[in-house]
Amino acid sequence: MANSRLDNQLNAIEALIAERRDGIGIAELERCLAQRLSLTLNRRTLQRRLENLLAQQRILSSGESVALVYQPPQLGSGAAPSAVAIGDYADLELYVPVSAEGAAIRDQVRRPLMHRRPVGYQHAFLERYEPGVSFYLPESLRAQLHEIGRTAQAARPAGTYARDIYNRLLVDLSWASSRLEGNTYSRLDTQNLIELGQVAQGKDAQETQMILNHKAAIEMLIEDVEQVDFNPFTFQNLHAILAENLMADEEACGRLRRRPVEISATVFQPLALPQVLEDCFIELLHKATAIADPFEQAFFLMVQLPYLQPFEDVNKRVSRIGANIPLIRHNLCPLSFIDVPERAYVEGILGVYELNRIELLRDIFVWAYERSCQRYLAISQSMSDPDPLRIRYRTALIEAVQWVVKQRLAPSAEVIRQLAQDKAAAEDRDAFAQLLSNALKHLHEGSVARYRLRHSEFLVWQPIRDRVEVGGGGQ
């Protein structure tokens, strides 16, 4: 079975390369595999498959580094591409296990557009949902999710568990949510960008911006967990962060849309009238606020917010990040969307758009949550306890970093010593000074949002920091 799957993957990769006699790069090959065949391979696995094909002389390569491309063998070279038609690839499709109802929805939304009936926004779909009476997730399923998502920090202050897995969650959720939008950053690329500020070679600026926007949005949810809620202020600011520098009209960031929009590859036409849209947006958030169960609350948002399309773009991203609000607040395992096939997610959303049916998206939500729990609860078992000093002085550290950057101060030993004296108890000043020194030394473009700084503020301060050794004297 395993060998058969490997052979199918090799044949599919070879067939795609055979179409491109001038060569195809690995990033584009990844996109073609995902979009045309719903086959998502991580970069390392794909590289191994390509090495296998090269060793068998079934493909050729030319160029180096980012210019490396893969080509079919030249005619007469003695190696012929396997006869695999792209249309014969259905058996290898990567999907999630689905219920009979989910499978029926999947089959319906896969019909050609010309065979699907055009539909508009149905307000009744939102109106007939009554919090506490209506449930998208049955009681038994909610109980199951609570059982697998429960953490040891359940009784701790809101956001404690998310802070415990902070760095991993930033990378995983930023990467996985962006990948569902077609972003080609690998998880390692994402980690290097978030933790080291290294932009991946060969990626366009929009992909990099999308990752950084996700990171800033997740930081907002965790840093401001006591303030974020199901209200317009939270969701409009969440949209503004996720959409920053990605929309043609910058004024549309964080603003409810004022014009009609169309969505490709669907017969669904979103609501057009701005006043009605605003009323529905308020109604949606009021209903979400009234839902008591955090899982029902999360899934309700994933269903209703993309369906309403309150913003000109970036709606699904807002729903995926926003769905984590109740999970973070209740110290439940977060939902990172790791390993969710893009096609499965899109078809689940199409079931909502075109049929007002939630069963396929629910199958995907449950599978994705179980996958997240397996990942983070396993990680938690191997993690050491978080540094209590860092927890105790978390807010003070943010304020100290802000002060140095905004005042454009050189991070000299004297400046750090003075801030430690102002912010920390006498017995903790040396340790706080070390925390502050490390934070300033490693501050980069990918981490400024953690300290609630603007990118422009950091760029002005960076040369000042780079002229002196942090904490080692200077002006």
**DSSP per residue over 30-53, as a string?**
HHHHHHHH-----HHHHHHHHHHH
Instruction: Report the 10 Å Cβ neighbour count for 167.
Output: 12
Do the beta carbons of residue 288 and residue 300 sit within 8 Å? yes
- 359-363, 439-443, 454-458, range with greatest mean pLDDT: 359-363
CATH of the domain at 180: 1.10.3290.10
Average pLDDT over residues 178-199: 93
* The pair of three-digit structure tokens given for residue 367, joined into one six-digit string: 């599978």
Measured over the CA atoms of residue 311, residue 313, residue 316 and residue 322, the dihedral's sign is negative
Do 252 and 211 reside in the same domain of the chain?
yes
Average pLDDT over residues 387-392: 77
Does residue 398 belong to any structural domain of this protein? yes
Does residue 474 belong to any structural domain of this protein? no
Q: What's the pLDDT score for residue 62?
A: 83
Does residue 116 belong to any structural domain of this protein? yes
Query: Domain containing 290: what range?
Result: 100-382
How far is 57 from 48, CA to CA, in rounded Å?
14
Which residues is 120 bridged to in the sheet?
A: 269
Does residue 137 belong to any structural domain of this protein? yes
Q: What's the pLDDT score for residue 90?
A: 43
* 53 vs 387, more confident: 53
Do 45 and 74 reside in the same domain of the chain?
yes
Q: What's the pLDDT score for residue 28?
A: 85
Give the model confidence (pLDDT) of 93-131 as tens digits.
Answer: 578 899 999 999 999 999 999 999 999 999 999 999 999
Do 330 and 223 reside in the same domain of the chain?
yes
Does residue 227 belong to any structural domain of this protein? yes
Do 406 and 373 reside in the same domain of the chain?
no
How far is 459 from 455, CA to CA, in rounded Å?
6
User: Radius of gyration of the chain from Cα atoms?
Assistant: 25
Does residue 471 belong to any structural domain of this protein? no
Q: What's the pLDDT score for residue 386?
A: 59
Q: What's the pLDDT score for residue 42?
A: 81
Do 115 and 142 reside in the same domain of the chain?
yes
Q: Which of 382, 417, 451 is the last residue of a domain?
A: 382
Q: What single string gives the DSSP state of each residue in 218-239?
A: HHHHHHTTTT--SSHHHHHHHH
Q: What's the pLDDT score for residue 452?
A: 85
* 414 vs 378, more confident: 414
CATH of the domain at 31: 1.10.10.10
Q: Which of 45, 73, 92 is the last residue of a domain?
A: 92
CA dihedral in degrees (332, 336, 341, 344; nearest 10)?
50
Q: What's the pLDDT score for residue 470?
A: 66
Do 348 and 401 reside in the same domain of the chain?
no
3-state secondary structure (DSSP) of residue 101: helix
Q: Which of 92, 113, 146 is the last residue of a domain?
A: 92
Does residue 475 belong to any structural domain of this protein? no
How far is 203 from 186, CA to CA, in rounded Å?
11
Q: What's the pLDDT score for residue 475?
A: 40
Do 308 and 328 reside in the same domain of the chain?
yes
Do the beta carbons of residue 443 and residue 458 sit within 8 Å? yes
Q: What's the pLDDT score for residue 430?
A: 92
Do 61 and 177 reside in the same domain of the chain?
no
Tell me the pairing of strands 60-62 and 69-71.
antiparallel
End-to-end CA, the chain: 67
Q: What single string gives the DSSP state of each residue in 342-407?
A: HHHHHHHHHHHHHH---HHHHHHHHHHHHHHHHHHHHHHHHPPPP-HHHHHTHHHHHHHHHHHHHT
How far is 54 from 194, CA to CA, in rounded Å?
33
- pLDDT reading at 294 higher than 90: yes
Average pLDDT over residues 212-221: 96
Do 361 and 397 reside in the same domain of the chain?
no
Where would I find the H helices in 150-293?
160-164, 166-179, 187-196, 205-223, 232-243, 274-290
Measured over the CA atoms of residue 130, residue 302, residue 250 and residue 196, the dihedral's sign is positive
Give the model confidence (pLDDT) of 334-374 as tens digits.
Answer: 999 998 999 999 999 999 999 999 999 999 999 999 999 98
Average pLDDT over residues 37-47: 80
* The pair of three-digit structure tokens given for residue 20, joined into one six-digit string: 């491109």
- The count of domains in the chain is 3
Which backbone phi and psi does 293 adopt, to 5 degrees? -80, 125
Which residues have CB under 8 Å from 70's CB, separation 6+?
Answer: 17, 23, 24, 25, 26, 29, 50, 53, 59, 60, 61
DSSP one-letter code for 199: P
Do 317 and 196 reside in the same domain of the chain?
yes
* The pair of three-digit structure tokens given for residue 37, joined into one six-digit string: 């065949």
* The pair of three-digit structure tokens given for residue 51, joined into one six-digit string: 């090495």
Do 122 and 237 reside in the same domain of the chain?
yes
Half-sphere exposure of 444 (CA within 13 A, CB side): 11
Do 50 and 78 reside in the same domain of the chain?
yes
Give the model confidence (pLDDT) of 315-341 as tens digits.
Answer: 999 999 999 999 999 999 999 999 899
Does residue 104 belong to any structural domain of this protein? yes
